[in-house]
């Protein structure tokens, strides 16, 4: 067995046993290079750093299942790669769902314009409403925004969202409540008639 494999095997064995110093060594060895690797995909250092941090946390959580013959370096890079791809997919979904939300709001406001509130809506700028709604959604914290979009536009249940986001149902309810409260507050000038 060559020296690198021996070191890798010993490091994996120590991490499996829960040796924090071994895990800290792994972190020091690969953190910076993994952040640079992730940044190639996500184009943002803070997001890349967060993805790498979450990857290390997940590896610590599953440490007892690590294979001692596994190349930790290759495993780390594969995990970070997969997490970057998942992040990009989520971001694309968020953008698409935000656009759908704005279109739905625009449709509802046009429908209401034809009703008894014509005098109120004559001065209402649809572009301003759409921009305010988009900004309200964009300004939500990441998890809050994703829960809102998954609930309102994907039609997922609390349980499905909890499973998808790897959070509890109570967290889903809390995040959705916060999202609705913040969006309503942002749109209060437009929605006073409701």
Q: For residue 108, what is the domain's CATH number?
A: 1.10.10.10
Asked which of 59, 86, 113 is the last residue of a domain, the reply is 86
pLDDT of residue 113: 54
Tell me the C-alpha distance between 89 and 111, whole Å: 33
Q: Are 172 and 158 in contact (CB under 8 A)?
A: yes
| pLDDT at res. 78 | 93
* CATH code (residue 55): 1.10.1740.10
Note the pLDDT of residue 125.
Answer: 60
For the record, the structure tokens of 7 come out as 């070191």
Measured between alpha carbons, how far is 35 from 181 in angstroms, rounded to an integer? Answer: 35
pLDDT for the residue numbered 112: 56
Q: Which residues of 72-90 are buried (b: 16+ CB within 10 A; e: fewer)?
A: beebbbebbbebbeebeeb
Q: Note whether 65 and 105 are same-domain residues.
A: no
In the chain, the number of structural domains is 2
Query: Closest Cα partner for 162 from 143, 187, 180?
Result: 143
Q: Give residue 109's pLDDT.
A: 64
Q: Phi first, then psi: give them for residue 182, nearest 5 degrees.
A: -70, -40
d(CA 108, CA 30): 51
- pLDDT tens figures, 15-32: 989 999 999 999 999 999
Domain that holds residue 101: 89-186
Question: DSSP assignment, residue 193?
Answer: T
Closest among 129, 127, 142 to 193, alpha carbons compared: 129
Give the per-residue pLDDT at 181: 83
Residue 34's CB: how many other CB atoms inside 10 A? 24
Instruction: Out of 86, 109, 132, pick the residue that ends a domain.
Output: 86
Q: Please identify every stretch of the chain with a pLDDT value under 70, giving residue numbers as ranges.
A: 1-7, 94-95, 97, 106-127, 190-194
Q: Is 193 within a domain?
A: no
* Same domain for 104 and 55: no
Same domain, yes or no: 144 and 160: yes
Number of Cβ within 10 Å of residue 105's Cβ equals: 19
pLDDT at 58: 92
pLDDT, the chain, mean: 81
In a domain, 192, yes or no: no
Helical H runs in the chain? 3-16, 20-42, 45-61, 72-113, 118-121, 126-138, 142-152, 158-165, 169-186
Could you tell me if 80 and 118 lie in one domain? no
Answer yes or no: is 9 within a domain.
yes
Q: How far is the C-alpha of 22 from the C-alpha of 75, rounded, in Å?
A: 16
CA distances from 64 to 7, 29, 86, 87, 172 (A): 18, 20, 24, 26, 29
Domain check: are 104 and 131 in the same one? yes
Q: What is the pTM of this model?
A: 0.52
């Amino acid at each position: 067995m060559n020296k690198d494999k021996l070191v890798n095997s010993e490091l994996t064995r120590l991490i499996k046993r829960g040796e924090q110093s071994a895990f800290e060594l792994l972190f020091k060895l690969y953190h910076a290079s993994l952040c640079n690797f992730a940044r190639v995909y996500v184009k943002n250092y803070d997001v890349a750093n967060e993805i790498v941090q979450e990857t290390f946390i997940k590896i610590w959580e599953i440490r007892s299942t690590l294979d001692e013959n596994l190349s930790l370096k290759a495993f780390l890079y594969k995990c970070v790669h997969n997490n970057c791809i998942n992040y990009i997919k989520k971001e694309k979904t968020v953008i698409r769902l935000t656009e759908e939300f704005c279109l739905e709001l625009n449709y509802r406001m046009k429908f209401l314009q034809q009703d008894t509130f014509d005098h109120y809506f004559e001065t209402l700028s649809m572009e301003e409403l759409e921009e305010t709604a988009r900004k309200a959604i964009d300004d939500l914290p990441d998890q809050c925004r994703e829960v809102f979009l998954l609930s309102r536009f994907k039609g997922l249940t609390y349980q499905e969202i909890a499973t998808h986001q790897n959070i509890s149902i109570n967290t889903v309810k809390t995040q959705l409540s916060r999202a609705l409260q913040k969006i309503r507050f942002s749109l209060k000038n437009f929605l006073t008639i409701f």
